[in-house]
Structure 1
Amino acid sequence: MLTFPHVHRRPTRRRTRKRTTAALLTAALLSGGMALAPGATGLSSAASPSAAPPTVADPAATATTPVRVNQAGYLPDGPKRATVVTSATQPLTWQLRNASGAVAASGRTVVHGTDTASGEATHTADFSKYRKAGSGFVLVVDGQNSAPFDIRADLYDSLRSDAMAFFYHQRSGTPIEASLVGPAYARPAGHLGVAPNQGDTNVPCQPGVCDYTQDVRGGWYDAGDHGKYVVNGGISAWTLVDSFARAERAGNASALGDSTLRIPERGNGVPDVLDEARWELDFLMRMQVPSGKPYAGMAFHKIHDAAWTGIPTRPELDAQPRELHRPSTAATLNLAATAAQCARVFKPYDSTYAKRCLSVARTAWTAAKANPALYAPESDSTGGGPYNDTQVTDDFYWAATELYAATGERAYRDAVTSSPWHTSSGALTPTGFNWADTAALGRLTLATVPNGLPASDIRRVRASVTAAADGHLAMMAGQGYAVPIPANGYVWGSNSQVTNNAMVMATAYALTGQQRYRAGVLESMDYLLGRNTLDLSYVTGYGDTYARNQHHRFWANQYDASLPNPPAGSLAGGPNSGLQDPVAQEHLAGCSPAACYIDDIGSYSTNEVTVNWNAPLAWLAAFAAERCPPRD
């Protein structure tokens, strides 16, 4: 693979990822041979690519029309804007035509000028005043038609379900049932110790890390590989649980309640989104170092194969030995934060489980305080991404906020208020939060969950959220495609930065009821679903033209026709001007930042999928699907 987190910039530091073995593997696969990275298992006889490499589409040919719209559609009561690529210096006439070709609305474009991220000359067409539902609409500008789209209130209902179903597909340690996902996506349980798997039920540590084995079955495969990483799993589980908590506060919890998702636990009396998150939470708690062992209470940083596997490799056919990697402070604080959130949100549905979560969270917090600088090494990148992080004060802040929200105890409150992140403007930045930058999660929790902080402090925290949301809106207003990230922010996983910043805007809407924030969220979804320089939906199954070949070992149809493409609702990482894989380097040299993407399975730096990218997509889809009367 080739699954690593994206590169993220902070003002005070820069993280980079090493891809030496991974890059060699991809280059070998793309050459058409069967050479693999050192130590890889090879490709199963049941799922091996043909001798010739697949053809790669020219990314420059992706865009089919200069009129770029949300190809899935628009909500009747939401913004409806399109971007038109044109060198015209004067406004142009636009027409909204219905399925029969009749003109439903018309108007004039607004000249924007050059969009910095794409380098394109753009206009904006705004047809928000048209509020009638229908299907098969097209926007016509200067004789050019957009892709067809719908206008309907239930537009995001299916995406809410499909984006959440991603996590069931990614489950480790359980069969994926055809009755729930269809025969193409069904598979036996992976990594339970059934040959050729060596299993996750009795996993040894890397040499020198520990002298015992641990049962770390379950959880979600992180991305297109079979690794499981506590820091990436932590933010993903938190986001799913927060999605339910947000909906509950808004009075819409039933949409994510029991029997709303296609998972085995439906009908058990617990909201399905919490059942799905619990699959990961159970794994995260299994990663805690047992009492009586060195670093007791800490969390192992990750567990994955000893060496990179090839593409395709079905989970149940992965014969690699599995290894636990040494504990880290960051992983331990992720465990503390997510387990504390679990204690708070699960309590009405399973009080026994909530008590267990709180006990784990307290133990992890104490262990992290005792070991505040145990960092995952950047060099630990064979067989899995390093997920290294040497600044963990933000993780301490996040964990403290969750423990305080769960318990109200003074010690955790003091840890919150004494943290430099509590008043720092750097908690919510234009480039967004991610697995390595988690202070924003604490800020969002304090802004939305009732707590005992002074009223003046709560007002300041909430004002910081709305100020950040206003910054995102201002950034969108200055762009031809209204994207809530800077023009130079197209890095690894740029689409997750879009979604995470949209979560901030949605939180601002919840705090204020001001429609501009909801509009910002919906326009962010427009970008992901086709209103972009490539005229492409980055979400599988949604839109007229959408990504189909995300980087994945099982959803590997591009290499093996007997395997499926990714299921509907999977979000591609998106444009990445870093071009950190051979496919991107070969085909995207000289690309404008917003166009540095290729729908090819080998382009792991632009086209992989991960749990921490799909989690905010699911969060946003649930938000967008709510029937919300205006609150301004």
Structure 2
Amino acid sequence: MPTAASSPRPRRLAATLLTSSLLVGGLLTTPAAAAVGSDAAATTAVRVNQVGYLPDGPKRATVVTTATQPLTWQLREASGTAVASGATVPRGADTPSGQSVQVADFSSFQGSGSGYVLTVDGSSSVPFDLRANLYDGLRSDAMAFFHHQRSGTPFDASLVGSAHARPAGHLGVAPNKGDTSVPCQAGVCDYTQDVRGGWYDAGDHGKYVVNGGISTWLMVNSFERAKRAGKDAALGDSSLKVPERGNGVPDVLDEARWELDFLMRMQVPEGKPYAGMAFHKIHDAAWTGMPLRPDQDPQPRELHRPSTAATLNLAAAAAQCARVYRAYDPAFADRCLSAARKAWTAARANPALYAPDSDSTGGGAYGDTTVSDEFYWAAAELYATTDESGYRDAATDSSWHTSSTAFSAYGFGWADTAALGRLTLATVPNGLPAADRDRIRTSVTAAADGYLSRMAAQGYAVPVPADGYFWGSNGEVANDAIVLAVAGELTGKERYRTGALETMDYLLGRNALGQSYVSGYGETSSQNQHHRFWDPIRASRTAPSG
């Protein structure tokens, strides 16, 4: 059995791939409310972060040009007055895009304001801002995505706007069959399970534990990191438009709890075969048509057989829950820890129960036959929460504890989770020997340095490999930025903050398409993302098979 992924795996757009926490302050990226952009902006040769830049952060742009000599750049205020100028640095061919590019660096200018434009060789960028609160709105809009993905709750116009208000989905109200009493696929079990709640997958009405586990971890981890940095107020109570606002609990934890409750409902009950394991997924018997609101879905729902990977996702996410939620709801924390312990024990008893790749009717298969990384991640979370020697030994005895490939070349993701264990052991206080703790922390900074080297070698400063652009690769970019941000937390070195911020530049327009990949942010932003109930294309469109 291999110990690390040797090639990139296809990533369908799960919540964890649409939304990945980046900076210690809780910065997230995801499609927000759609806005109509300018088609002309997409053709400009001067590619910038279309939202803007932090006054004290890096400010670089990529210029598509066949020129081989340096070009003069000017930074102009909204009035047209030039406030800074300099020369570009020729980079030649950018391998991933095939474009010939140069880079303009105007980081030395630290003014603030709106409507700045960068001009190079007769071409002008789209207007952008320079301000310290640049990402505050994006953070809350990004987090709103999870609320919109909730299953089993109505959406009030006061929270989501009239265009997105809708009844609860899959609670058994006709035409729904409901998720409150879901049978298994034939031959999997002879009972029904209440699996209401949770988040729908980004692309369909299914709910997947291996996506939910890492998505929940990312959300709760963003709060843990923000709290360590003293910036948790940005993710605190009433910071988001969620029904629970005002309850004294940070809103980011309220949102994550919606999924955590679902993940624990997916656990096989005591007295049943595979007790303590987690069902791999639940979705429609056949692919859901599009566009179709969840409350209008008439199909029968099915539970799919338990898997070791799903069970370990539950163990890891629930163990993290027990640690972070204890200050707000000790009873819920106890429930999470009990579920995590049961899941760990069940996974140890069933270490090779894999979800079959053939199980792809009505939902993604999410097959994963390498689960040693999930064992490492779950052990690390349980150890960080309990300080118990059994979990410590399981983590330190894992080949992933010393493997140089824990931080995959393609970043971490739902199928590659060893890095999550490393990040937890590097940052959450624990009883590892100082030398081991320092080695773990060094592995984080080494991975981050590798991403920085890769960024320096590319014209668009992207941390993924030249062949790393696949479905969901923007999530990989953001996940790499988390590693950079944690390296910055561990060392205080500015270069890691710089790298994390430059990934935002890529996601928000400094890329080969000259397009912001975050809907509603930037002059030209992505539209019509693959989605079952937000897809504007009429029902005559054929539903994809994956």
TM-score w.r.t. length of structure 2: 0.93
Superposition deviation, residue 559 in structure 1: 3.2
* Deviates further, 286-295 or 489-498: 489-498
Superposition deviation, residue 604 in structure 1: 7.4
Distance 1:251 1:316 in 2: 41
Q: 1:428 aligns with which of 407, 418, 441?
A: 407
**SS of residue matched to 1:326:** strand
Task: Determine the structure 2 residue equivalent to 1:438.
Answer: 417
Distance 1:283 1:525 in 2: 31
Distance 1:177 1:76 in 2: 38
Output the amino acid matched with 2:387: G
Task: Determine the structure 1 residue equivalent to 2:281.
Answer: 302
Greater RCO (Cα-Cα under 8 Å, separation 6 or more) = 2
Task: Determine the structure 1 residue equivalent to 2:66.
Answer: 87
Instruction: Kindly provide the CA deviation profile for residues 538-593 of structure 1, in whole angstroms up to 9, marking residues without a partner as x.
Output: 00110000011101122122438xxxxxxxxxxxxxxxxxxxxxxxxxxxxxxxxx
**SS of residue matched to 2:327:** coil
Task: Determine the structure 2 residue equivalent to 1:591.
Answer: none
Task: Determine the structure 2 residue equivalent to 1:480.
Answer: 459
What RMSD in Å do the two structures reach over aligned CA positions?
A: 1.9
Q: 1:333 aligns with which of 312, 318, 331?
A: 312
* 2:436 matches 1:460: no
Task: Determine the structure 2 residue equivalent to 1:525.
Answer: 504
**SS of residue matched to 2:471:** coil
Task: Determine the structure 1 residue equivalent to 2:491.
Answer: 512
Task: Determine the structure 2 residue equivalent to 1:594.
Answer: none
Cα contact 1:62–1:534 (8 A) shared by 2: no
Gap runs ≥5 in structure 2 = 13-36
Task: Determine the structure 1 residue equivalent to 2:426.
Answer: 447
TM-score w.r.t. length of structure 1: 0.80
From the superposition, tell whether residues 16 and 182 of structure 1 become closer, same or farther in structure 2 (CA, over 3 Å). closer
Superposition deviation, residue 430 in structure 1: 2.3
Instruction: Kindly provide the CA deviation profile for residues 399-431 of structure 1, in whole angstroms up to 9, marking residues without a partner as x.
Output: 000000000000000001100000001101221
Cα contact 2:5–2:416 (8 A) shared by 1: no
* 2:106 matches 1:140: no
Q: 1:282 aligns with which of 257, 261, 267?
A: 261
Count of residues paired in the alignment: 519
Q: 1:124 aligns with which of 103, 109, 131?
A: 103
Instruction: Kindly provide the CA deviation profile for residues 123-160 of structure 1, in whole angstroms up to 9, marking residues without a partner as x.
Output: 00000011111100100001111011000001000000
Distance 1:368 1:13 in 2: 26
From the superposition, tell whether residues 418 and 277 of structure 1 become closer, same or farther in structure 2 (CA, over 3 Å). same
Pairs within 5 Å for 1:197-346: 197-346=176-325
**SS of residue matched to 1:485:** coil
Distance 2:114 2:4 in 1: 43
Task: Determine the structure 1 residue equivalent to 2:450.
Answer: 471
Distance 1:296 1:263 in 2: 34
Superposition deviation, residue 309 in structure 1: 1.5
From the superposition, tell whether residues 396 and 287 of structure 1 become closer, same or farther in structure 2 (CA, over 3 Å). same
Distance 1:17 1:92 in 2: 39
Task: Determine the structure 1 residue equivalent to 2:472.
Answer: 493
Output the amino acid matched with 1:214: Q
Task: Determine the structure 1 residue equivalent to 2:340.
Answer: 361
Output the amino acid matched with 1:498: V
**SS of residue matched to 1:150:** strand
Task: Determine the structure 2 residue equivalent to 1:400.
Answer: 379
Task: Determine the structure 1 residue equivalent to 2:32.
Answer: none
Output the amino acid matched with 2:450: G
Output the amino acid matched with 1:245: E
Instruction: Kindly provide the CA deviation profile for residues 170-210 of structure 1, in whole angstroms up to 9, marking residues without a partner as x.
Output: 00000111100100011110000000000000000000000
Distance 1:195 1:136 in 2: 51
From the superposition, tell whether residues 487 and 177 of structure 1 become closer, same or farther in structure 2 (CA, over 3 Å). same
Distance 1:603 1:282 in 2: 30
Cα contact 1:113–1:121 (8 A) shared by 2: yes
Task: Determine the structure 2 residue equivalent to 1:545.
Answer: 524
Distance 1:519 1:97 in 2: 23
**SS of residue matched to 2:173:** coil
* 2:402 matches 1:416: no
Output the amino acid matched with 1:141: V
Output the amino acid matched with 1:480: G
**SS of residue matched to 1:552:** coil
Instruction: Kindly provide the CA deviation profile for residues 239-289 of structure 1, in whole angstroms up to 9, marking residues without a partner as x.
Output: 000000000000111110101000000000100000000000000000000
Instruction: Kindly provide the CA deviation profile for residues 413-454 of structure 1, in whole angstroms up to 9, marking residues without a partner as x.
Output: 000110000000110122101000000000000000000000
Gap runs ≥5 in structure 1 = 1-8, 19-56, 561-600, 609-632
Cα contact 1:551–1:602 (8 A) shared by 2: no
